[in-house]
Amino acid sequence: MIRVVMVLAFLILGPLVGGLLDGADRIISARMQRRRGPKLLQPFYDLGKLFSKELIAVNNVQLLLNLSYLVILMIAGSMLFAGADLLMVLFILSTADMFLIMAASSDSSPYANMGASREMLQMMAYEPLTLLVAVGFYLTTGSFHVSDIVTMDYSAVAWMPGLLVGFMFTAAIKFRKSPFDLSTSHHAHQEMVKGLTTEMSGMTLAIMEIAEYYERVLLFGIFFLFFINSTWWSWIAALIICSGIFFLETLWDNVAARVKWKVLFYGCWTVTLVAGGINILILMLVK
């Protein structure tokens, strides 16, 4: 029964929480730039405007692929909050990203196709680290299942500090934060217009934004797994620490200049080998 409630809460509240996080991100970014910034609910106003526009799609398959991207993310998040296999959740998350890449590649815009190729490159860069995170949870807790991880007597982060740092690196890419916003960006500073989302508008773009909100909540759900355990106060501590991570990701976005693809690729692999690889090696020797 609890699992059903958690899944329903994710499906219903996921876009709301994701939209609020987006609104808070805009406000914090504006304050860092000494601007007033938009209202907290501005992302929802934007969605309403997008849904009110006439549907003008480059082709019919793009809308279908974006819907698939949304649905698969909803499935991945539902599995996470239902306490299912974390490794399977990460595999499904990667599958969702492939549908977004195909949606961007389905039109003839050179900017969208360039964004799609960069998105694929980013996946090749961060996917090994996300798999190492799942392996790290298994070596630390003896299980891939989220329901087992959250009932341990200790927090996984005690044994996975390197993997936490690596996952923060990966999350910056997934959140499309500078310096890793190569494929598309939430801000108007791309040399290729909007890259991945150049040809998306109206309902198609709104669906993509809602999917991004689900993904944001899913990723912070994984961050929570690093800190929560069988004690009630660990949930409060996890909320506070994850709020700090959210602030650091936003700060990083505002102080870092965008890097070239080679720097991103080599940087991700360096973090994977150093932070992730050493952490996994220690776990294999100690556990």
pLDDT in tens, 114-152: 888 888 888 888 999 999 999 999 999 989 999 999 999
Structure tokens at 125: 């860069």
Residue 67 confidence (pLDDT) above 80:
yes
Average pLDDT over residues 268-276: 88
The pLDDT confidence band at residue 259, using thresholds 50, 70 and 90, is confident
pLDDT of residue 6: 92
Task: Tell me the pLDDT tens digit for each residue of 223-242.
Answer: 999 999 999 999 999 999 99
pLDDT score for 187: 62
Q: Looking at residue 89, what is its pLDDT?
A: 95
Residue 57 has pLDDT above 90, yes or no: no
- For 147, other C-beta atoms within 10 Å of its C-beta total 13
Residue 169 contacts residue 249 (beta carbons within 8 Å) = no
Of 186, 180, 178, nearest in space to 208 by CA: 186
Q: With contact defined as beta carbons under 8 Å apart, do 89 and 217 qualify?
A: no
Q: Model confidence over 163-212: pLDDT tens digits?
A: 999 999 899 989 888 888 877 776 655 555 677 887 787 888 899 999 99
Beta bridge partners of 85: 145
Q: Where are the domains of the chain?
A: 2-286
